[in-house]
Chain A
Amino acid sequence: GAVVSQHPSRVICKSGTSVKIECRSLDFQATTMFWYRQFPKQSLMLMATSNEGSKATYEQGVEKDKFLINHASLTLSTLTVTSAHPEDSSFYICSAQTGRLGETQYFGPGTRLLVL
Chain B
Amino acid sequence: DAKTTQPNSMESNEEEPVHLPCNHSTISGTDYIHWYRQLPSQGPEYVIHGLTSNVNNRMASLAIAEDRKSSTLILHRATLRDAAVYYCILRYSGGSNYKLTFGKGTLLTVNP
Contacts and interface: CB of A to CB of B under 8 A. Distances in A.
A34 B99 contact: yes
Contacts, number: 54
Contacts of A109: 42-43
Which label, helix, strand, loop or mixed, suits the secondary structure of the B interface? loop
A93 B105 CA distance: 17
A106 to B, nearest CB: 7
A108 B91 contact: no
Interface residues of A, number: 24
Interface string B11-36: 00000000000000000000010101
Contacts of B103: 43
Interface residues of B, number: 23
Interface of A: 4, 6, 32, 34, 36, 43-46, 49, 91, 93-95, 97, 103-110, 112
21 contacts: A34-B100, A36-B102, A43-B105, A46-B99, A46-B100, A46-B101, A94-B43, A95-B44, A95-B100, A103-B32, A103-B49, A103-B91, A104-B49, A105-B46, A107-B36, A107-B46, A108-B43, A109-B42, A110-B42, A110-B43, A112-B41
